[in-house]
């Protein structure tokens, strides 16, 4: 049977990546080699080197805004946790602009307030609620342990019980905060760059991080080392490291969620 050459082709597109000039995107993400944890940082450095002056100015503006917000009693802390995805989303838009040959502008820091503001704020609210739950659980465990230690008296045994309870609470908080961080690590990026819903973005971020635990361990270890070095000269190294780490999130996103 002859085929009309002017008829639009039909195919099932639900199960294939979305292809475009940027490559092929898949919300499932992919596992990458351990060494890519270092590659994300070097790629982030490459984006920083394209416009170091703009990056540093953007960082200074962000720090000033963060300080001003933090000065607001109670509400400042809430606002910081709710608004960070909005700023992060704007920075990711700037990274994409750089990656595609455009220019980064300080205004990109506020681009999230124009695009997908509602979704980004919801991510911030979910993050804040998760933090509150983590703190409450940690305090509950620590308080229960200290209370039990008090029943034992104020002798050495009671003091040791208190220390054990506090350490248990800290370790529990760290264990609980890791999956929270995994769920929101790529969420703002997936919202602003791929228009995913909040739920889909959070799930995709968590899956991507889970599939790349080893590269993230490498990334974290190197990041800690660089942070120590950057902090030595009066913290001036953060003028370069801060933007580099921010851009490395975009580099990791491109590496995990796109195939060329």
Domain residue limits at 183? 31-66+74-101+108-255
Strands 18-20 and 258-259: unpaired
pLDDT confidence of residue 168: 78
Domain for residue 11, yes or no?
A: no
Domain for residue 215, yes or no?
A: yes
Percent of the chain with pLDDT over 70: 83
Domain for residue 149, yes or no?
A: yes
Q: Which residues contact 36 (CB under 8 A, 6 or more apart)?
A: 212, 215, 218, 252, 255
Residue that the structure tokens 């000039």 belong to: 21
Domain for residue 22, yes or no?
A: no
pLDDT confidence of residue 161: 57
Torsion of the alpha carbons at 232, 184, 205 and 213, rounded to the nearest 10: 40
Cβ(208)–Cβ(36) below 8 Å: no
Single pTM value for the model: 0.84
| Helix ranges, 31-116 (H) | 36-50, 52-70, 75-99
Q: What is the DSSP letter of 111?
A: G
Q: Between these two residues, 140 and 199, which has the higher pLDDT value? A: 199
Residue 52 has pLDDT above 80, yes or no: yes
Cα separation of 176 and 136, whole Å? 11
Structure tokens at 95: 């990274």
pLDDT confidence of residue 23: 75
Let me know the angle formed at the C-alpha of 248 by 97 and 54, rounded to the nearest 5 degrees.
Answer: 50
Domain for residue 126, yes or no?
A: yes
Confidence of residue 14 (pLDDT cuts 50, 70, 90): very low
Confidence of residue 6 (pLDDT cuts 50, 70, 90): very low
Q: What is the pLDDT of residues 236-245, one digit of tens each?
A: 999 999 999 9
pLDDT confidence of residue 38: 97
Q: What is the pLDDT of residues 168-182, one digit of tens each?
A: 777 888 888 999 999
Average pLDDT (93-116) is 95
Q: What is the pLDDT of residues 75-94, one digit of tens each?
A: 999 999 999 999 999 999 99
Domain for residue 60, yes or no?
A: yes
Side by side, which strands form the sheet with 258-259? 18-20, 23-25, 258-259
Of the CA atoms within 13 Å of residue 103, those in its CB half-sphere come to 5
Domain for residue 217, yes or no?
A: yes
Percent of the chain with pLDDT over 90: 70
pLDDT confidence of residue 1: 42
Helices and strands of the chain, counted as H and E runs? 9, 3
Q: What is the pLDDT of residues 212-231, one digit of tens each?
A: 999 999 999 999 999 999 99
Cα separation of 198 and 184, whole Å? 10
Cα separation of 99 and 37, whole Å? 19
Confidence of residue 160 (pLDDT cuts 50, 70, 90): low
Residue 13 has pLDDT above 50, yes or no: no
pLDDT confidence of residue 234: 87
Domain for residue 1, yes or no?
A: no
pLDDT confidence of residue 143: 65
Number of domains comprising the chain: 1
């Amino acid at each position: 049977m002859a085929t009309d050459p002017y008829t639009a082709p039909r195919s099932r597109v639900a199960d294939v990546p979305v292809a475009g000039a940027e490559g092929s995107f898949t919300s499932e993400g992919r596992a990458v080699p351990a060494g890519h944890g270092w590659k994300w940082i070097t790629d982030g450095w490459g984006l920083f080197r394209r416009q170091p002056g703009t990056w540093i100015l953007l960082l200074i503006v962000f720090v000033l805004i963060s300080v001003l917000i933090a000065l607001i009693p109670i509400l400042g802390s809430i606002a910081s946790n709710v608004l960070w995805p909005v700023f992060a989303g704007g920075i990711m838009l700037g990274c994409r602009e750089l990656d595609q040959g455009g220019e980064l502008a300080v205004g990109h820091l506020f681009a999230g307030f124009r695009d997908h503001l509602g979704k980004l704020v919801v991510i911030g609210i979910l993050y804040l609620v998760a933090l509150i739950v983590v703190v409450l659980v940690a305090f509950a465990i620590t308080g229960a342990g200290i209370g039990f230690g008090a029943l034992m008296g104020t002798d050495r045994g009671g003091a040791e019980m208190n220390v054990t309870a506090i350490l248990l609470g800290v370790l529990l908080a760290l264990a609980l905060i890791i999956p929270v961080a995994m769920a929101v690590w790529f969420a703002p990026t997936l919202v602003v760059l791929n228009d995913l819903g909040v739920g889909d973005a959070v799930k995709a971020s968590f899956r991507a991080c889970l599939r790349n635990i080893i590269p993230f361990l490498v990334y974290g270890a190197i990041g800690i080392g660089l942070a120590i070095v950057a902090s030595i000269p009066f913290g001036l190294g953060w003028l370069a490291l801060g933007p580099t780490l921010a851009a490395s999130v975009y580099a990791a996103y491109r590496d995990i969620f796109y195939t060329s």
